[in-house]
Structure 1
Amino acid sequence: MHRSAQRARSVLRLAARHSLYLAFGLAAALAAAGASAQDAYPNRPIRVVVPYPAGGNTDIIARDVMKELSRRLGQPVVIDNKPGANSILGTELAAKAAPDGYTLLVVIGAYANNDSLYRQLPYKSSELVPISQLTRTSLVLVTARPGLRTLDDLVRSGAQGPSPQSFASSGVGSAAHLLGERFARSTAMKGAMHVPYKGTADATTDLVSGRVGFMFDAISAMGPHIRQGRLAALAVTGQDRSPLLPEVPSLTELGHPELVTYAWAGVLAPARTPPAIVRKLADEFAQVMKGDELRTRLAAISTEPVGSTPAEFARFIAQEARVNGDVIRQLNISLD
């Protein structure tokens, strides 16, 4: 009986050891299969959701960049325009997609601001992971009001004039609105009045006519009006002067480094996308953004290539969300 019990215990130990070996072997096989799948990435087309209409600046930048990415990866990279609700519809679609590296999302400044602008969003920022900041674009401060030819002229008119200075934007909570508010507060332009429009075109019409005092907008959009003398460019919002407006000083030169601002674009992926795929994509985008042909095309719209790491892009988004979120909360803006 004693020997029988010993044999039984031996058999159980052997069985347990065998099961453990099988478990280790299975785990190793699964890890190897996962690594192999990631090494083979991509082996089919990649969809890039652009939550804005076709033909706009964001779409143009995305198509130029993704064309180069496709060449490097050897797979089609397909743009899927999903506009609506201040980019929320397309962002939700990407956030809920499979985290396999085959659905990516292009975002701009609205993405960083929407958490503060909306009380309820159909997605959480934790459902998306940063890959790389692609570009940054200087804006320009313009006016058509007579006698305003420098930033100091504008500031004095808003601080000492008989009536508040007004500024235009494409809507409440837009990048131009938030920057206009930051500018008015930083320069002590008392009572600067925000005039929201339904879009940039309507705002520009009233800006050029002088019905509204000033506005921040893309150099590519304001350039023709500046060249024709219909608008005066007072400052660019980048760290340095723009090659497209070399005679116009930067806000840093003018003593306002706290107001340095860029329009920007970057790429996210669904959370839980394998880290190896995120790193691979970030490395590929970094190389894409160094391309001479792409840099030339971007320069034509006063846009600079970036190509950051995931960690750098995460810090950048957090800083954008903090700065603009503070303004949104101070103004008690809510879009839902």
Structure 2
Amino acid sequence: MTRTPLETTDMQEKKTRRAHAAARLVTAMAFALTSVAAMAQGIYPNRPIRVVVPYPAGGNTDIIARDVMRDLSVRLGQPVVIDNKPGANSILGTDLVAKAAPDGYTLLVVIGAYANNESLYRRLPYRAADLAPVSQLTRTSLVLVTASPGVRSVDDLVRAGREGGAPLSFASSGVGSAAHLLGERFARTTGMKGTMHVPYKGTADATTDLVSHRVGFMFDAISAMGPHIRQGKLTALAVTGQERSPLLPQVPSLKELGHPELATYAWAGVMAPAQTPAAIVDKLSTELAAVLKGAELRTKLAAISTEAVGGTPAELAAFIARETQVNGEVIRQLNLSLD
């Protein structure tokens, strides 16, 4: 059937209106999806956050994590729940977070072992690229202690290590631990010959033998060694931070004694699964920085000779890279492997 010019024009107008309506619908749907995504990002978090601590409850790492996350929960308006997952030198908990959904609702607290494990283990169940830095939390100065009679300074200890007939032993909480690697670096830097590392299952056992003169010296947290120092059972020779510790103001730092390369801290930081949206990582980093400026939290941390740090994801990434390089070199020189 032949259509009149008027009918043809009418049909064209209807097609045009339908095309315009379809275009408006597509635009509206795109806008709605964009708005939903933006709203979802803007209200993060809208449910509890799980923070995996790959160490037992009650230790320094756990205490620090709980204090920090309690204040973070207040700022975010959502529960922040600590989940202790100890095992395999922190590998168990780390792997759990590395494989978690990258949505900002599963985070990980790491310490020095995280960086050291890259060199201590040939086969890890995760890759470094599986985790993204969020923020450094804290750093804690260590103290060099001894119970050896007549050793009252670092010079005395070094002299004993150089001139003694038998190798001077030092204790740590285990092979590849921060105290072990620092003890090795200290011996090499100061020219102590033939030092012998004695690993223990934990600080308590190591301290018992140190006080009993079964081992020569040890590096450990000031909070752990403080009671023995105050009781006169141990002599504090130096602290490892850049400055003297307020808890041991009479004890010099290794830096001021001429060993700035030995300035070392135990530390803690927060990681997230890789591919976590940058907006979420940045929000967490910003909120943690605000938490770590809190006067009450800083006072709590100072009581265990710990400083609040904070910082950006990039700063934590650079810090971990340095830790991995410095301690990795010692691990390779000692040919250490835990697998």
State the TM bucket, normalised to the shorter chain. over 0.9
Partner residue in 1 for 2:172: 169
Moved over 3 A (4+): 15-32
SS at match of 2:89: coil
- Find the partner of 1:112 among 111, 115, 120: 115
Partner residue in 2 for 1:276: 279
Give TM-score, length-normalised by structure 2: 0.92
Equivalent residue runs for 1:227-238 within 5 Å = 227-238=230-241
The reply to whether residue 189 of structure 1 matches residue 208 of structure 2 is no
**Can you list the C-alpha shifts for 1:315-334, whole angstroms capped at 9, x where unaligned?**
00000010000011111111
Q: 1:207 to 1:20 in 2, by over 3 A?
A: farther
SS at match of 2:115: helix
- Find the partner of 1:203 among 186, 203, 206: 206
The reply to whether residue 93 of structure 1 matches residue 109 of structure 2 is no
**Can you list the C-alpha shifts for 1:223-243, whole angstroms capped at 9, x where unaligned?**
000000000000000000000
**Post-superposition offset of 1:301:** 0.5
**Can you list the C-alpha shifts for 1:240-277, whole angstroms capped at 9, x where unaligned?**
00000000000111000000000001100001111000
Unaligned runs of 5+ in 1: 1-14
Partner residue in 2 for 1:81: 84
User: Counterparts of 2:181 and 2:23 in 1: how far apart (Å)?
Assistant: 60
The reply to whether residue 70 of structure 1 matches residue 73 of structure 2 is yes
- What amino acid is the match of 1:168? A
SS at match of 1:264: strand
Q: 1:82 to 1:160 in 2, by over 3 A?
A: same
Partner residue in 2 for 1:310: 313
**Farther off after superposition, 326-335 or 16-25:** 16-25
Q: What is the number of residues matched between the two proteins?
A: 327
User: Counterparts of 1:322 and 1:17 in 2: how far apart (Å)?
Assistant: 61
Partner residue in 2 for 1:142: 145
Measured on the aligned residues, the alpha-carbon RMSD in Å equals 2.2
**Can you list the C-alpha shifts for 1:4-37, whole angstroms capped at 9, x where unaligned?**
xxxxxxxxxxx99999998777665544432221
Partner residue in 2 for 1:10: none
Partner residue in 2 for 1:321: 324
**Post-superposition offset of 1:222:** 0.2
- Find the partner of 1:180 among 183, 188, 191: 183
Give TM-score, length-normalised by structure 1: 0.93
User: Counterparts of 1:164 and 1:26 in 2: how far apart (Å)?
Assistant: 76
- Find the partner of 2:257 among 254, 257, 260: 254
User: Counterparts of 2:23 and 2:193 in 1: how far apart (Å)?
Assistant: 74
User: Counterparts of 1:305 and 1:331 in 2: how far apart (Å)?
Assistant: 33
SS at match of 1:282: helix
The reply to whether residue 43 of structure 1 matches residue 50 of structure 2 is no
Larger radius of gyration, structure 1 or 2? 2
User: Counterparts of 1:17 and 1:249 in 2: how far apart (Å)?
Assistant: 78
SS at match of 1:86: helix
User: Counterparts of 2:122 and 2:23 in 1: how far apart (Å)?
Assistant: 50
Partner residue in 1 for 2:289: 286
User: Counterparts of 1:30 and 1:165 in 2: how far apart (Å)?
Assistant: 68
Identical-residue share of aligned pairs (%): 78
Partner residue in 1 for 2:245: 242
Partner residue in 2 for 1:103: 106
User: Counterparts of 1:290 and 1:301 in 2: how far apart (Å)?
Assistant: 17
Unaligned runs of 5+ in 2: 1-17
User: Counterparts of 1:36 and 1:235 in 2: how far apart (Å)?
Assistant: 53
The reply to whether residue 224 of structure 1 matches residue 235 of structure 2 is no
